[in-house]
């Protein structure tokens, strides 16, 4: 519900404060102007040099560069988490059908074959 108030009516005078109450006080010329910016503590030369040094360090601070390898690793980790593949990858890599287990089996078989051939060579000589 919207109401329209008639100017200078009893309702409008009761609801709307007079404009003179809203007017800010006037400042004199001799009164110092107060800043709304907080003081930075720059009273002495050492504080000033410290503040300047802080500004230099902030402006020269560069974000760490990511190498291609690190970026790829982070992208892969995010993909695995996003697609919920952690359990599948862990099971695949540790089970008998996993890549690491197959590589270990091939290495053991190659070593046994080498030892067998070495033993055969010794018997012949």
Q: What is the pLDDT of residues 13-66, one digit of tens each?
A: 666 655 555 555 565 566 555 555 555 554 566 788 888 888 877 766 677 788
Q: What is the pLDDT of residue 4?
A: 66
pLDDT on residue 9: 66
The predicted model scores a pTM of: 0.32
pLDDT in the model for residue 36: 52
Angstrom CA distances, 106 to 74, 89, 110, stand at 31, 21, 6
Give the tens place of pLDDT for each residue, 68-112. 999 999 999 999 999 999 888 887 777 777 788 888 999 999 999
Q: Where are the beta strands (DSSP E) in 32-119?
A: none
Q: Rounded distance, CA 89 to CA 83, Å?
A: 11
Q: What is the pLDDT, as a whole number, of residue 120? A: 93
Q: What is the pLDDT of residue 42?
A: 47
Neighbouring residues of 86: CB distance < 8 A, sequence distance ≥ 6: 80
CB neighbours of 101 closer than 8 A, spacing ≥ 6? 93, 94, 95
């Amino acid at each position: 519900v919207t109401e329209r108030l008639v100017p200078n009516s009893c309702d409008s005078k009761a609801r709307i404060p007079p404009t003179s109450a809203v007017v800010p006080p006037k400042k004199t010329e001799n009164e110092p102007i107060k800043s709304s910016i907080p003081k930075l503590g720059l009273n002495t030369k050492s504080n000033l040099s410290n503040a300047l040094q802080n500004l230099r360090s902030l402006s020269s601070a560069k974000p760490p560069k990511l190498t291609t390898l690190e970026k790829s690793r982070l992208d892969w980790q995010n993909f695995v988490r996003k697609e919920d593949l952690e359990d599948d990858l862990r099971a695949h890599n540790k089970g008998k059908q996993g890549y690491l287990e197959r590589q270990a089996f091939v290495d053991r078989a190659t070593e046994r074959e080498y030892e067998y051939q070495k033993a055969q060579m010794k018997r012949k000589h």
